[in-house]
């Protein structure tokens, strides 16, 4: 099928900023997406601009210009739209300040620091891909002590309980009583990776702060602060390749609708 004959429904929903492509596939699986009055059962469905798509009974919003925000997430907030345990979420906290957004990756409830948010689900997916190769940097406070030699070994990667982690850059920042402050840089961002690596070293993490995600830095952004990344800075940091691809896809969609 030619790319001009339609696009996958999950991709169209994500580009509209409703949610990420992964979450769109979940919504389809839950029977919450309709196409031309019928409930969709497969995320493999291709759609065109002539099709009427409803998510939870609401039409897709018009594609807005892609935006990106830096958020200094405090501890105690869940990075989820709905928490089964009823805990406060990032999206509830920011509901009055931002349009509908999705997070680029996640942070555990007690993890603080830089969280990137966007109104473009496709951008979120693009930046989460391992192939993007962006480094995540953290400051870690952990109970216990470790030597530099043990940290140097992490540069070749390590296997912990059957899970293989890629190269990790870790350095001792300072020792503070029974705690050690570390700086850790990783590329993969696997689930609870930093905490599991520290446990492997005999350390117990009691504070974790993400300071950078790729070229974007936490900097002096205050705790709980939110700041939009200027369009020029966003495009130069992410690369024009992504935006050209998205602009081309949006132009095709507009042609189909005309």
Taking the C-alpha atoms of residue 50 and residue 70, their distance in angstroms, rounded to an integer, is 36
**Location of structure tokens 């689930």:** 191
Residue 39 phi/psi, 5° resolution? Answer: -70, 130
**Cβ within 8 Å of residue 152, ≥6 positions away:** none
Taking the C-alpha atoms of residue 178 and residue 176, their distance in angstroms, rounded to an integer, is 6
Which residues share a beta bridge with 137?
Answer: 185, 212
Taking the C-alpha atoms of residue 42 and residue 188, their distance in angstroms, rounded to an integer, is 29
- Residue of 108, 178, 247, 248 marked active site: 108
Which residues share a beta bridge with 160?
Answer: 163
Taking the C-alpha atoms of residue 4 and residue 112, their distance in angstroms, rounded to an integer, is 43
Taking the C-alpha atoms of residue 234 and residue 37, their distance in angstroms, rounded to an integer, is 38
- 108 labelled catalytic: yes
CB 17 within 8 A of CB 99: yes
Taking the C-alpha atoms of residue 192 and residue 246, their distance in angstroms, rounded to an integer, is 31
Catalytic site positions: 108
């Amino acid at each position: 099928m030619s790319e001009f004959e339609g696009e996958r429904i999950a991709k169209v929903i994500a580009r509209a900023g409703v949610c990420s492509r992964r979450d769109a596939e979940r919504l389809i699986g839950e029977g919450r997406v309709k196409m031309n009055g019928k409930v969709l059962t497969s995320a493999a469905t291709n759609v065109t601009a002539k099709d009427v798509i409803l998510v939870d009974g609401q039409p897709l919003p018009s594609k807005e210009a892609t935006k990106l925000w830096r958020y200094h997430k405090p501890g105690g907030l869940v990075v989820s739209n709905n928490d089964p345990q009823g805990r406060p979420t990032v999206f509830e906290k920011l509901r009055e300040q931002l349009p509908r957004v999705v997070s680029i990756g996640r942070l555990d409830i007690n993890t603080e620091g830089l969280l990137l948010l966007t109104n473009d689900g496709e951008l979120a997916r693009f930046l989460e891909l391992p192939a993007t190769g962006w480094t995540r940097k953290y400051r870690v406070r952990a109970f216990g002590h470790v030597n530099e030699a043990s940290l140097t070994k992490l540069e070749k990667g390590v296997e912990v309980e059957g899970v293989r982690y890629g190269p990790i850059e870790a350095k001792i920042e300072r020792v503070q009583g029974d705690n050690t402050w570390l700086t850790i840089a990783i590329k993969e961002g696997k689930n609870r990776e930093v905490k599991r690596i520290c446990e492997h070293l005999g350390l117990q993490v009691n504070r974790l702060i993400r300071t950078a995600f790729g070229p974007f830095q936490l900097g002096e952004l205050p705790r709980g602060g939110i700041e939009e990344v200027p369009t020029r800075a966003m495009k130069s940091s992410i690369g024009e390749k992504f935006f050209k691809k998205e602009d081309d896809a949006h132009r095709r969609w507009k042609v189909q609708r005309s």
